[in-house]
C-alpha cells in the first residue's frame, strides 16, 4: 500500500526485527536510510534486495524530493535509521511532516527503541516519564540543563555517549544528589548487556571502577523527584512519630 512507512529496526540483536518490518522492507519501492552501508548489513542478513537512498535530516532537498516523487507516483517508501525507531534522536522529522502536509499516508511500524527498552527494566516509575535524549556535550551547559530538570517528578530518560558517561554521571550527582536512584542500561540486546539500578553516586563509582562500562551504547534512566515518606530524614521521622503519639 502506498505511503511512508516509518520502520523500527534492531538496536543490537538482529532477531528483534518484526515480521511485518521485513515484509515492508522487501515490498516498498524505496528505502530511505540514515546510513546506506549500515542498513545494507541488515537487508543483506535478511536477503532483502531493494533500492536504498541516503537520507539525513539536513541532506540536500534532493533525497526528500525523491521520496515525495515516489509517493506522488503511488509508491511506498520505508524510512529506517541506523538503529531503533526513526525520529527518536534520529533523522526523519522533516520527511514525516512533509509527507503528511502533502497528504500522503504515514504509517508507523513499531519496534525497538533504546529509551523504552531501558525504561521497561528500570524498576523506576513508568506511569509518567520524560525523554530528554542527548544532553549538551559541555559540562557547563549540561549542568544548566540538569538544574532545569532537577525538580521534575517524572522519570527522566537520557541517551549518552560512552566517552562522556563518567562526566555526565558526575554532573548528575552534583545537581541531583548522590542518593537519587538511577539505571544504567548499556549495550541493550547485545553480548555485554549491563542493566544496573543504583543511587547515582554508586553508578558513578561503578563506571569509574570499570572502564568497560565506559564503552558501547548507553541509556541513563533517572528517578524523578519524589516526596516519599521514606525519603524524610531519620531525625524528622522520629520527631513525627513522637508527635503522632501525642495526638488524640
Ligand atoms: N533511534 C534510536 C532508538 O530508537 O533508540 C536512538 C538513536 S540515537 C542516535 C543512539 C543512542 O541510543 C545511543 O547513543 C544510546 O544512547 C542509545 N542506544 C541505541 N542502542 C542502544 C543499545 N543497544 N543499548 C543502549 N543504548 C542504546
pLDDT tens track for 176-214: 999 999 999 999 999 999 999 999 999 999 999 999 999
Of 10, 88, 89, 117, which is best to mutate to test ligand 1, by the most ligand atoms within 8 angstroms of its C-beta?
89
Q: Which three three-digit cell numbers place residue 62? A: 534532493
Measured in Å, residue 225 CA sits from the centre of ligand 1 at 25
d(CA 91, CA 225): 32
Of 84, 96, 131, which is best to mutate to test ligand 1, by the most ligand atoms within 8 angstroms of its C-beta?
84
pLDDT score recorded for residue 227: 58
pLDDT band of 228, cuts 50, 70, 90: low
Measured in Å, residue 124 CA sits from the centre of ligand 1 at 19
Q: What is the mean pLDDT of the chain?
A: 95
Establish whether residue 132 lines the binding site of ligand 1, counting it when its CB lies within 6 angstroms of any ligand atom. Answer: no
- pTM for the structure as a whole: 0.91
* Least confident span in 65-79, 132-146, 221-235: 221-235
Pairing between β-strand 155-160 and β-strand 129-134 as defined by DSSP bridges: parallel
d(CA 228, CA 116): 25
Measured in Å, residue 163 CA sits from the centre of ligand 1 at 15
pLDDT tens track for 88-147: 999 999 999 999 999 999 999 999 999 999 999 999 999 999 999 999 999 999 999 999
- On the question of pLDDT at 24 being above 80, the answer is yes
Residue 103's alpha-carbon distances to 9, 25, 61, 114, 177, in angstroms, are: 26, 22, 19, 31, 49
pLDDT band of 229, cuts 50, 70, 90: very low
d(CA 128, CA 148): 18
Amino acid at each position: 500500500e502506498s505511503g511512508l512507512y516509518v520502520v523500527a529496526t534492531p538496536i543490537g540483536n538482529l532477531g528483534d526485527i518484526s515480521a511485518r518490518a521485513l515484509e515492508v522492507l522487501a515490498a516498498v519501492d524505496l528505502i530511505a536510510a540514515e546510513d546506506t552501508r549500515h542498513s545494507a548489513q541488515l537487508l543483506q542478513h535478511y536477503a532483502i534486495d531493494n533500492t536504498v537512498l541516503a537520507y539525513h535530516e539536513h541532506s540536500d532537498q534532493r533525497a526528500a524530493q525523491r521520496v515525495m516523487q515516489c509517493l506522488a507516483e503511488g509508491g511506498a517508501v520505508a524510512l529506517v535509521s541506523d538503529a531503533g525507531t526513526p525520529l527518536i534522536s534520529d533523522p526523519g522529522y522533516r520527511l514525516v511532516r512533509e509527507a503528511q502536509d502533502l497528504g500522503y499516508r504515514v504509517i508507523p511500524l513499531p519496534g525497538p527503541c533504546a529509551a523504552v527498552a531501558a525504561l521497561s527494566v528500570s524498576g523506576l516509575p513508568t506511569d509518567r516519564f520524560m525523554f530528554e535524549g542527548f544532553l549538551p556535550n559541555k559540562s557547563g551547559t549540561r549542568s544548566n540543563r540538569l538544574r532545569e530538570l532537577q525538580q521534575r517528578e517524572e522519570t527522566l530518560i537520557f541517551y549518552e555517549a560512552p566517552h562522556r558517561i563518567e562526566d555526565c554521571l558526575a554532573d548528575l550527582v552534583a545537581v541531583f544528589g548522590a542518593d537519587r536512584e538511577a539505571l544504567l542500561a548499556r549495550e541493550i540486546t547485545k553480548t555485554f548487556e549491563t542493566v544496573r539500578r543504583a543511587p547515582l553516586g554508586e553508578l558513578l563509582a561503578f563506571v569509574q571502577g570499570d572502564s568497560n562500562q565506559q564503552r558501547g551504547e548507553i541509556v541513563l534512566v533517572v528517578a524523578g523527584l519524589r516526596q516519599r515518606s521514606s525519603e524524610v530524614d531519620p531525625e524528622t521521622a522520629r520527631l513525627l512519630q513522637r508527635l503522632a503519639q501525642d495526638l488524640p
